Amino acid sequence: MDRPEIRLRNSMTRRVETFAPIDPANVRLYLCGPTVYDRAHLGNARNVILFDLLFRLLRHDYGADHVTYVRNFTDVDDKIIARADETDRDIADITAETTGWYLDDMAALGTLEPTHMPRATDHIGDMVTMIEGLIASDHAYAAEGHVLFSVASYEGYGALSGRSVDDMIAGARVEVAPYKRDAMDFVLWKPSGEGEPGWDSPWGRGRPGWHIECSAMSKAILGPHFDIHGGGNDLMFPHHENERAQSCCADPGAGFANIWLHNEMLMVEGRKMSKSLGNFFTVRDLLDRGIPGEVIRFVFLSTHYSKPMDWTEGKAREAEATLRKWRALVTDGGVIDDAVLAALRDDLNAPGAIAELHRLAKAGDGAALKASAGVLGLLGEDIGSWAAEGDAPLVEAVLAARLEARANKDWARADRIRDALLAAGVVVTDGKGRGWDAGPGFDPAKLEGLV
């Protein structure tokens, strides 16, 4: 079956190249998910929206049943243990709560749930098995209750990040420990202290290092060789470099991921997001301030994933105005515009796709606009209720004024209000004249001055 060509920017080769799935009947992708100890900050959402866009495009081109998307939860980590100590709460309670927060916040951004969302603690046995294999093949060694990966044993180390080992040592926070054979060797397993979470292993009671978690989970669900792996470019080193090294050594010749997809970082009002600068926001912060998830998504998609993105209040206002205008135009029954798909297939060029949506809106093609925006996760019914929520008090006041005019037999005023409601795109949904919905052409500004 011939399919349109999709081109993606491969961090491994530093080139935009044609995507050729290993198995077109099961396209497989893996995204490094959150460590669940707190709310997701705004930067965490960028790769989730990127992979959601990729997931939607692949489902369109290959079929929804032929794409497997995995995004993990790291639910055992030093940060989680520290948070439990700080708050005197049980680790399981913290991870359950923060996992729920994460899922709610990502859903508010219009992202589809991945096919699988494994938790690290459910795959400890897979991690132990992988570590045992690495020791048996001399790619890892046990020392003082720890197991470490031997970087010198893998000559391909550094190929993903493009750094030499000397550069990596200079640029990394390398833990100096007497049990390490080399400064760059990294932990696969470490002992757990009293009161810390731990599991029995051949090396004593302990817990996994961060990097081995994703290698074990991706292999368990997707196999040792799959199509696309991704995350923010801050994960390229050391996390993805280490992950790739141990996976390639655990399964020589398998190849691990064919394409590595990394997004650039987020800024806020032209500056790096930082608590010290007072411009650090979680996704929930913005949602609670009344900025709709669809607006946040639109702003993120307006910058190509390979470029730094600057979140500004001005962009959010422009996005909301655009989405309100589009929602007033949309109708059902359209087909996805070819130019929108062509833009997305060209290295997920969401800004280019949005430009095509503007073209459709200008042409007044509300049906194609809605169908095409859906591929970007925009203008859907489940994410668009915000568009009328802020105008509810005005609409309801006007409806009440009409009921009052009718009760007083002021038919002329009642008719003027009825005509204004129609012109404003308000659809009355019950026979008593109180229920309503925002219909095509919804423009509450046309109701101002009626009450």
**277-310 pLDDT, tens digit each:** 888 999 999 999 989 999 999 999 999 999 999 9
Neighbours of 155 (CB within 10 A): 8
Ranking 31-35, 79-83, 141-145, 167-171 by mean pLDDT, the lowest is 167-171
Tell me the two tokens of residue 384: 């668009």
Instruction: Dump the DSSP string for 107-128.
Output: HHTTPPPPSB--BGGGGHHHHH
Residue 321 CB burial class (10 angstroms; 0-12, 13-18, ≥19): exposed
Residue 439: per-residue pLDDT? 66
Question: Which class would CATH give 7-263?
Answer: alpha beta
Beta-carbon contacts of residue 161 (< 8 Å; ≥ 6 apart): 168, 236, 237, 240, 241
**250-281 pLDDT, tens digit each:** 999 999 999 999 999 999 999 988 888 888 99
**186-231 pLDDT, tens digit each:** 999 999 998 899 999 999 999 999 999 999 999 999 999 999 999 9
Residues 443-447, mean pLDDT to the nearest whole number: 82
Residue 384: per-residue pLDDT? 78
pTM: 0.87
Is pLDDT at 355 greater than 90 in this prediction?
Answer: yes
**89-99 pLDDT, tens digit each:** 999 999 999 99
Residues in the chain: 451
Q: Which of 42, 9, 6 is nearest to 27 (CA)?
A: 6
Domain range annotation of the chain: 7-263, 267-386, 390-447
Mean pLDDT of the chain: 92
Q: What CA–CA distances, in Å, run from 326 to 157, 321, 384, 437?
A: 49, 9, 11, 16
Residue 122: per-residue pLDDT? 97
Contacts 24+ apart (CB under 8 A), 436-440: 436/395, 436/396, 436/399, 437/388, 438/327, 438/387, 438/388, 438/391, 440/328, 440/329, 440/330, 440/331, 440/366
Residues 422-449, mean pLDDT to the nearest whole number: 77
Quick check: 171 and 163 in contact, CB under 8 A? yes
Q: What CA–CA distances, in Å, run from 315 to 47, 85, 188, 291, 392?
A: 19, 40, 43, 12, 24
